[in-house]
Amino acid sequence: MPYLTVTDGLVNNSASLQPHYIEGTITAITPTTELNLMGQDNLTVTGTHLPWNLATSDVVINFND
Protein backbone atom coordinates (compact mmCIF):
# COMPACT_ATOMS: atom_id res chain seq x y z
CA MET A 1 0.00 0.00 0.00
CA PRO A 2 1.49 3.38 -0.89
CA TYR A 3 2.00 5.97 1.84
CA LEU A 4 2.17 9.72 1.25
CA THR A 5 5.32 11.10 2.84
CA VAL A 6 7.24 14.34 3.05
CA THR A 7 10.68 15.12 4.43
CA ASP A 8 9.28 15.32 7.97
CA GLY A 9 7.49 11.94 7.77
CA LEU A 10 3.99 10.67 7.03
CA VAL A 11 1.38 13.22 5.94
CA ASN A 12 -1.68 13.34 8.19
CA ASN A 13 -4.82 12.29 6.38
CA SER A 14 -8.50 11.74 6.93
CA ALA A 15 -9.73 8.45 8.41
CA SER A 16 -12.12 8.23 5.46
CA LEU A 17 -9.31 7.73 2.96
CA GLN A 18 -9.22 4.25 1.45
CA PRO A 19 -6.21 2.43 -0.03
CA HIS A 20 -5.89 2.55 -3.79
CA TYR A 21 -4.34 -0.54 -5.34
CA ILE A 22 -2.77 -0.38 -8.77
CA GLU A 23 -2.39 -3.67 -10.58
CA GLY A 24 0.75 -3.98 -12.65
CA THR A 25 0.88 -5.66 -16.02
CA ILE A 26 3.83 -7.83 -17.01
CA THR A 27 4.66 -7.63 -20.71
CA ALA A 28 7.86 -9.70 -20.75
CA ILE A 29 10.08 -11.88 -18.59
CA THR A 30 13.58 -12.78 -19.75
CA PRO A 31 15.29 -15.19 -19.99
CA THR A 32 12.65 -17.85 -20.66
CA THR A 33 14.92 -20.74 -21.59
CA GLU A 34 17.86 -22.59 -20.05
CA LEU A 35 16.84 -21.69 -16.49
CA ASN A 36 18.52 -23.45 -13.58
CA LEU A 37 16.08 -25.90 -11.94
CA MET A 38 17.74 -25.16 -8.59
CA GLY A 39 17.02 -21.44 -8.92
CA GLN A 40 19.33 -18.45 -8.57
CA ASP A 41 18.70 -17.18 -12.09
CA ASN A 42 18.21 -13.44 -12.51
CA LEU A 43 14.97 -12.63 -14.30
CA THR A 44 14.19 -9.28 -15.88
CA VAL A 45 10.52 -8.33 -15.60
CA THR A 46 9.17 -5.50 -17.77
CA GLY A 47 5.69 -4.06 -17.87
CA THR A 48 3.48 -1.20 -16.76
CA HIS A 49 2.69 0.16 -13.29
CA LEU A 50 5.49 -1.84 -11.67
CA PRO A 51 7.10 -0.53 -8.46
CA TRP A 52 10.12 1.67 -9.05
CA ASN A 53 11.56 1.09 -5.57
CA LEU A 54 11.49 -2.60 -4.60
CA ALA A 55 13.05 -1.91 -1.20
CA THR A 56 9.87 -0.09 -0.10
CA SER A 57 7.31 -2.07 -2.11
CA ASP A 58 5.34 -5.23 -1.40
CA VAL A 59 5.75 -7.52 -4.40
CA VAL A 60 4.29 -11.02 -4.64
CA ILE A 61 5.39 -13.35 -7.42
CA ASN A 62 3.89 -16.82 -7.74
CA PHE A 63 5.34 -19.52 -9.98
CA ASN A 64 3.71 -22.76 -10.97
CA ASP A 65 5.20 -25.92 -12.39
Mind listing the pLDDT tens digit for each residue in 33-56?
898 888 888 889 899 988 877 777
User: Has residue 64 been placed in a domain?
Assistant: yes
For 55: left if phi > 0, alpha if psi spans -120 to 50, otherwise beta; the answer is alpha
User: Has residue 7 been placed in a domain?
Assistant: no
Domain that holds residue 54: 23-65
CA-CA distance, 19 to 26, in Å (whole number)? 22
User: Has residue 17 been placed in a domain?
Assistant: no
Residue 28 has what pLDDT?
Answer: 94
Whether residue 30 has pLDDT greater than 90: yes
User: Has residue 12 been placed in a domain?
Assistant: no
Residue 22 has what pLDDT?
Answer: 77
The number of folded domains in the chain is: 1
Total-model pTM = 0.53
User: Has residue 65 been placed in a domain?
Assistant: yes
